[in-house]
Amino acid sequence: MYNDKNSKKIVETIQNWARSHSIWVLAYGTGCGAIEISPTMTSRYDAERLGFRGAATPRQADVMLITGYLTVKTVKRVVRVYEQMQSPKYVVGFGSCTINGGMYYDSYNTINLLDRYLPVDVYINGCMPRPEAVLAGLSKLQQIIREGNANGAEKYLENLAWYKENQRKIAPNWIAKAPDLNW
């Protein structure tokens, strides 16, 4: 028998399948990890055959791939770019620098945990992750999207006050001067 709940579930399943096979990636290269993006996207590993394509602007991107360590200045720009992306949007933390600061973990200006400032859907560990690891991480993101569990953008909006408070702790005068882009 036809009912509205089943039809919504079917539509969501189809949408998630389509989203997982057409992912536009905006690579935000902040460190040495960005060197691995080129081989991942070119002919040897050919990420496009799996449904990953490069995006030119945040408005076109579905995924922000943050490759490398973040400083106070770069996390400001990363947050700004993330807030310019259209939903649904996803974040992939690339390398140990986004997880724990990597070899810069004890620097006064390094951000050690990216997920305190933005919701991270998938981490790819390693220093520097090889293209095979990048493809595995992106495939994991595809799986999470297909299952309907990649809800970082919703998590960001639900916990916006917590994320903004963490952002204010590292850059107290930045949030006051910046326009509110959380639409």
Residue 171 — φ and ψ, nearest 5°? Answer: -140, 80
Contact of 77 with 176, CB cutoff 8 Å: no
* pTM, to two decimals: 0.84
Residue 156: predicted pLDDT:
92
**What mean pLDDT do residues 90-99 have?**
87
Residue 167: predicted pLDDT:
86
In a domain? residue 30: yes
Domain holding 71, by residue range, is 4-177
* pLDDT tens for each residue of 135-178: 999 999 999 999 989 888 999 999 999 998 888 888 777 655 55
In a domain? residue 182: no
Which of 88-97 are b and which e, b meaning 16 or more Cβ less than 10 Å from the residue's Cβ? bbbbbbbbbb
In a domain? residue 183: no
- Nearest Cα to Cα of residue 73 among 38, 36, 117: 117
3 state DSSP class of 149 = coil
In a domain? residue 38: yes
Total domains, the chain = 1
In a domain? residue 21: yes
Alpha helices in the chain (DSSP H): 4-20, 37-41, 72-84, 96-100, 131-147, 152-158, 160-170, 172-177
DSSP 129: P
**What mean pLDDT do residues 88-113 have?**
85
- Nearest Cα to Cα of residue 98 among 107, 87, 111: 111
**What mean pLDDT do residues 48-74 have?**
87
Domain with 153 in it: what CATH number? 3.40.50.12280
Q: In the chain, what percentage of residues exceed pLDDT 70? A: 92
In a domain? residue 9: yes
**Both tokens assigned to 167:** 């952002």
**Residue 183 pLDDT > 50:** no
pLDDT top residue among 177 and 56: 56
| Alpha-carbon distances of 3 from 6, 9, 16, 45, 147, rounded to whole Å | 6, 10, 20, 44, 22
Rounded CA-CA distance 27/131 in Å is 14
pLDDT-derived band of residue 181, with 50, 70 and 90 as boundaries?
low
**What mean pLDDT do residues 95-105 have?**
82
